[in-house]
């Protein structure tokens, strides 16, 4: 069993406070798509086996 965290900027909070600019922190201007998230999960699962 494994937990695979995927950080999705501002998915839970739509605010954009200067001290918590998740787009700046992650370097991602848009959140990953479901397909991109699935690809990340597949890659991590392969590395675990
Ligand atoms: S600090 Fe601002 S942007 Fe960050 S979670 Fe709180 S309200 Fe949202």
The residue with greater pLDDT, 3 or 7, is 3
What is d(CA 32, CA 18) in angstroms, rounded to the nearest whole number? Answer: 22
Is 12 a residue whose pLDDT tops 80?
A: no
> Domain residues for 25?
18-48
**Cα separations in angstroms, 48 against 13, 34, 35, 38, 44:** 31, 21, 20, 15, 6
Is position 7 within any domain? Answer: no
pLDDT tens profile 16-47: 788 888 878 888 778 888 999 999 999 999 99
Residue 31 belongs to some domain of the structure: yes
In a domain, 6, yes or no: no
pLDDT confidence of residue 46: 94
Residue 3 lies in a domain: no
Evaluate whether residue 22 is within a structural domain: yes
Q: Report the predicted TM-score, pTM, of the whole model to 2 decimal places.
A: 0.59
What residues are in contact with ligand 1 under a 6 Å CB criterion? 13, 15-17, 20
* Structural domains counted in the chain: 1
Residue 37 Cα to ligand 1 midpoint, Å, equals 23
Q: Is residue 38 part of a domain?
A: yes
């Amino acid at each position: 069993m494994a937990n695979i965290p995927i950080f999705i900027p501002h998915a839970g909070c739509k605010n954009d406070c200067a001290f918590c600019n998740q787009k700046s922190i992650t370097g991602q201007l848009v959140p990953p798509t479901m397909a991109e998230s699935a690809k990340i999960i597949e890659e991590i699962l392969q590395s675990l086996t």
